Amino acid sequence: MVQSITPKQLAERLKTEDSSSLQLLDVREPWEVEICALPGVTTIPMQQIPQRIAELSPELETICICHHGGRSLQVGHYLQQQGLEKITNLDGGMDAWARTVDPTVALY
């Protein structure tokens, strides 16, 4: 089962924890990432995950991110099926981040 994290919980973790223990995986399309993205994300569009999975570290917790949380949840399930165990989905995606954590992030 893919765990979930709210935008506020993630923001708190990014403030208080060593960010080297996390990998933020943004699975949106490049045009979406150009509109808004969290700093330090690894961007791999959803359709490219199977070919680029080796770019992800299985030792780190992977926080999957998309626009509303649906695509990232699907990617999270796929990553778990491929043997990655530390997978967390950002509930509500970048839209929820913009609405609850950082109102300067563009909505689309």
Active centre residues (catalytic): 66
For 35, the token pair is 């509109």
For 4, the token pair is 């979930």
Give the E-state strand segments of 38-91 in sequence order: 42-43, 61-65, 87-90
The separation between CA 17 and the C-alpha centre of its own chain, rounded to angstroms, equals 17
